[in-house]
Amino acid sequence: MKNGTKKVLKAAGIVGATATATYLLLGNAFYYITLTKSGLNSSISKKLSSPNDKDDDYTVYLNNVLEDGAKWFDSAEKEKLAIRSSHAKKNIHADYIFGNENSDVCVVLIHGYTSSPRNMGIYAQKYNELGYNVLLPSLNGHADSEKNEITMGWKDRLDVIDWINYLVEDNPNIKIILHGVSMGAATTMMTTGEELPENVKVAVADCGYTSVWDIFSEKLKNSMHMHEFPMLYSANTVNKALSGYDFKKASSVEQVKKSKTPTIFIHGDKDDFVPYSMLDTVYDAAACDKEKVTIANAPHARNACADPELYWDSIITFINKYI
C-alpha cells in the first residue's frame, strides 16, 4: 500500500473516531442533564422542565393553588413506606396518607418530571376529603428514590406494579385508582398496558405524552431549537446502554392499546409543553373503556387548578362507574 493511501486511511480513521466520540459525548451530555437526579438542577434541565414559570397574574394564581396543595401535604399525617423493587437491587419509596378508617379505596398518585409527592398535594387533599387512602411513590431519580437514573415512566411502571402488588397483598379487597400527571400520566398509561390485578379499577391520565421519544423530540425542537439528529439519536444510544430501554419503545400509545383499565384522559388546551394534540393520539389508541376531557385555558399540569369543578366532577363521575 502506498504511503499516500495509508495517510488517507489514517486520516479517515481519525475523523471517524472523532465523529463517534463527539456523537457519544452529545448523548452523554443529554443523558446526564435530563435523565439523572444529579443533572436536574442544570440550567438546560430547568429550561426543559419549567413550562409554568411566567409571571403573569393567571400563571401566578395557578402556581399558588398548586403550592397550597403542597402546604396541605406538608401538614398531613403520613407514613413513609419502603419496599424492595422486584426488578432492581434497591428499595422503592412512597408516602402514604390514610383516608377513612373503613375505606377499601386507595389512589396511587404519580408525580411528574422534576416533581415530587409533595407537588401532588392538591390531588391528595381532594382524594383524602373523599375518604380515600393515598399512596404517592417517588419515581426513579426523584424525591426519596435511591436511584440516580430517571426513566420517564418506562421503568417506573414496574415500580407502580410493585406498589399495586404490595397494596393487594396487604388488603385483597382493595380497590385501586391510578392517577398521574405529566410524566406521571405517562407512567399511568404505561402501567395499564401490563397485566394488572382486578383490584385496579380506574386510571386518570392528566396531560401525558405519547412516548419518551416524542416528548424529547418536542422539547428539542421547541425549547432548544435543535433537530433530533444527532442529539436525540445519540442520547437514545447512551440511554439504551446505561438504562436498558429504547425511547421509541417506551410508548404510552403502544401500552394503552393493550389496556383493560377504564381510563379518563385529561389535557389543557393551552398546554404547549406536552402538546394538546397528544390527547387525541393516546385517547384514540386506547382499547379500554375511556373518556376524554379538555380543560379550557389550562397550561401544562395545571388542569386541576384552572377548572377544579370540571376536573373533579369529571373524575369523580368516571370513578363512580367502576367503584
Q: What is the DSSP string of 189-222?
A: HHHHTS---TTEEEEEEES--SBHHHHHHHHHHH
- 115 and 166 co-located in one domain: yes
Return the SS3 of 132.
coil
Q: What angle do CA 158, 159, 164 make, to 5 degrees?
A: 95
- 101 and 220 co-located in one domain: no
Strands 175-181 vs 200-206: parallel, antiparallel or unpaired: parallel
Diameter of the chain measured on Cα atoms: 87
- 80 and 194 co-located in one domain: yes
The pLDDT score that the predictor gives to residue 18 is 53
Q: Which of 225, 245, 265 is where one domain is finished?
A: 245
In a domain? residue 113: yes
Main-chain phi, psi angles of 35, to 5 degrees: -125, 20
Distance in angstroms (rounded) separating the CA atoms of residues 57 and 50: 17
In a domain? residue 46: no
The pLDDT score that the predictor gives to residue 148 is 95
Answer whether residue 242 shows pLDDT above 70: yes
Write the CATH number for 183. Answer: 3.40.50.1820
**Domain interval for residue 306:** 52-211+250-320
Helix axes 3-35, 231-242, angle to 10 degrees: 70
Answer whether residue 183 shows pLDDT above 90: yes
The whole-chain average pLDDT of the chain stands at: 92
Helices marked H in 76-179 = 121-129, 156-170
- 188 and 132 co-located in one domain: yes
In a domain? residue 202: yes
- 6 and 86 co-located in one domain: no
Q: Which of 229, 245, 261 is where one domain is finished?
A: 245
Answer whether residue 51 shows pLDDT above 90: no
Residues in CB range of 301: below 8 A, 6 or more apart: 51, 52, 112, 181, 182, 206, 207, 273
* CA quadruple 229, 232, 238, 240: dihedral, nearest 10: -110
Q: Which of 230, 245, 260 is where one domain is finished?
A: 245
Can you say whether the dihedral through the CA atoms of 243, 246, 248, 252 is positive or negative? negative
* β-bridge partners, 143: none
Helix axes 156-170, 183-192, angle to 10 degrees: 70
Number of domains composing the chain: 2
The pLDDT score that the predictor gives to residue 284 is 98
Mean pLDDT of 178-193: 98
In a domain? residue 228: yes
Question: Of 1-5, 59-63, 282-286, where does mean pLDDT reach its minimum?
Answer: 1-5
Helices marked H in the chain = 3-35, 43-49, 57-75, 121-129, 156-170, 183-192, 212-222, 231-242, 252-256, 277-285, 303-306, 308-320
Give 210's pLDDT tier (boundaries 50, 70, 90). very high
pLDDT in tens, 121-161: 999 999 999 999 999 999 999 999 999 999 999 999 999 99
How much of the chain, in percent, has pLDDT values that exceed 90?
Answer: 82
In a domain? residue 261: yes
- 131 and 219 co-located in one domain: no
In a domain? residue 40: no
Mean pLDDT of 75-93: 96
The pLDDT score that the predictor gives to residue 45 is 62
- 16 and 58 co-located in one domain: no
- 137 and 230 co-located in one domain: no
In a domain? residue 263: yes
Return the SS3 of 304.
helix
Helix axes 212-222, 231-242, angle to 10 degrees: 140
- 174 and 198 co-located in one domain: yes
> What are 319's three cell numbers?
370513578
Main-chain phi, psi angles of 115, to 5 degrees: -100, -160
In a domain? residue 41: no
Residue of 188 and 22 predicted with greater confidence: 188
Mean pLDDT of 257-267: 98
- Locate cell 410524566: which residue? 183
> What are 81's three cell numbers?
413506606
Give 68's pLDDT tier (boundaries 50, 70, 90). very high
- 87 and 8 co-located in one domain: no
- 150 and 240 co-located in one domain: no
Mean pLDDT of 312-323: 98
- 207 and 219 co-located in one domain: no
